[in-house]
Chains A and B, each alone.
Chain A
Amino acid sequence: MADHTSRLATILREHESRILADWIGLLANATRSGTLDKAEIEENARAFVRLLSDAMRTDASGEIDGPAWVKVRELLGALSASRARAGSSPSATASFIFSLKLPLFSRLREDYRSDAEGLGRDVWIATSLLDKLGLFTTEVFQKSREDVIVRQQRELLELSTPVVALWEGILAVPLIGTLDSERTQVVMENLLQRIVDTGASLAIIDITGVPTVDTLVAQHLLKTVGAARLMGAECIVSGIRPQIAQTIVHLGVDLGNIATKATLADALVLALARIGATVTRTAPRA
């Protein structure tokens, strides 16, 4: 087995320029309509063939996880990431690797001539190796996509938890969406920081946009209220829809002695009374 991989490396080295020329020709045909830069593809192909033959000579195990393959993996990682940014599909990137098979197999055929058994073995070794490398680019592509998704989730998390100053010393936190433990953390951090920044003594947590309140969500609410209290600010929970009120009671959720109001307007009135401010109408009701 080891012998044959070594011979593959020798063939690759000896015929490097021809294999490369054939490959680049193939790639040029395949990407004629593409947006990728031709010179860049050539450069990538050249670097890949060089690193591939180096790696095959040092590590003939046929696995690509070894230290000898670090440079190949790095190259493919960079390639996959840059192509993903350029808008290439993962299959196009993998095809880039797979398309090396045709020129490589032609050279193998020339080299082995009538030795069908040797040819078959080397073709198999070469194909499994290139398949692994091709799949590796797909994995890297997927990984970079997942990173993008995670980052967007985080951004969404921050976007959806604003803390609004309603009045001097009164903050409002309109919650929209399900309150899971991660969002609770973000809400708490934002709210507490704003309490420090503004010196607010009251915070209204409006849950109009929270679809359901179960025991877990209630627990998260209680945590937020508790943390605000430790910072010296009282909380009012508002925006409790009739459905939610029923659910809370049916589930036996204990909201402790948190002040609750049906609407944000009611909560604001209570908060204003609490800080000793009154609102008066200066014009008759229309």
Chain B
Amino acid sequence: MLDGKPPTERIPILKMGEFLLVTIQVEMHDRLVMTLQDELTQQIVRHRARGVLIDISALEIVDSFIGRALGNIANMARVLDAETVVVGMRPAVAITLVELGLNLEGVRTALNAEKGMALIRRRLAGTEPGRLDARGS
């Protein structure tokens, strides 16, 4: 599945207990996204992972393409019963995304990997109180 590509053209997926940690440090393009989706879904199944952390703290630019890709990955993981949390988004990136009208609905977010992991743990333990909303409080 990676034939013909240099080794740098891969985004590493680290297994940490029941979590998978993906750190995106290079500019994403469509072939890389396809590879990532392919590998990640396989690894979720292989390791029976319950949570996926996608760290984008190294990304200075997130465009609509990457935004959509993250949403797709989260949906794929959900189908395989794993929670996806996007962590480490930079303030400038967050502002750009909302200005573009991309709120990444359906993707959970956390400030950093530690908080993201805590979020998934609470979620798995069933103590996560769910989103704040005006009526539920």
Contact = CB atoms under 8 A, between A and B. Distances in A.
Interface of A: 185, 188-189, 192-193, 195-196, 199, 201, 223-224, 226-234, 236, 257-260, 270, 273-274
Contact of B115 (A199, A228, A234): A199
B2 interface: no
B111 A257 contact: no
Given A188-B95, A229-B109, A257-B134, 4 more contacts: A192-B91, A199-B115, A224-B98, A231-B91
B133 A230 contact: no
Interface of B: 86-87, 89, 91, 93-95, 97-99, 103-104, 109-112, 115-116, 119, 129, 131-134, 137
Nearest to A194: B91
Which of B115, B119, B132 has the most chain A CB atoms closer than 10 A to its own CB?
B132
B99 A274 contact: no
Given A259-B132, A260-B134, A226 B98 contact: yes
Contacts of A231: 89, 91, 94, 109, 111
13 contacts: A188-B91, A192-B91, A223-B99, A227-B94, A227-B98, A230-B89, A230-B103, A230-B109, A231-B111, A232-B112, A236-B132, A257-B134, A259-B132
Given A199-B111, A199-B115, A274 B104 contact: no
A230 B95 CA distance: 9
Contacts of A260: 134
A274 to B, nearest CB: 7
A259 B97 contact: no
A199 B114 CA distance: 11
Which of A193, A224, A257 has the most chain B CB atoms closer than 10 A to its own CB?
A257
A269 to B, nearest CB: 9
A224 B103 CA distance: 11
Contacts of A196: 91, 111
Nearest to A258: B134
B98 A230 contact: yes
A30 B102 CA distance: 65
A176 to B, nearest CB: 21
A106 B69 CA distance: 80
A259 B137 contact: yes
A273 B132 CA distance: 11
B70 to A, nearest CB: 11
Contact of A227 (B95, B119, B137): B95
Contact of A274 (B93, B94, B119, B132): B132
Contacts of A226: 97-98, 103
Contacts of A188: 91, 94-95, 98
Contact of A192 (B95, B103, B116, B119): B95
B103 A232 contact: no
Contact of B131 (A227, A233, A257): A257
A257 B133 CA distance: 5
B129 A274 contact: yes
A232 B109 contact: yes
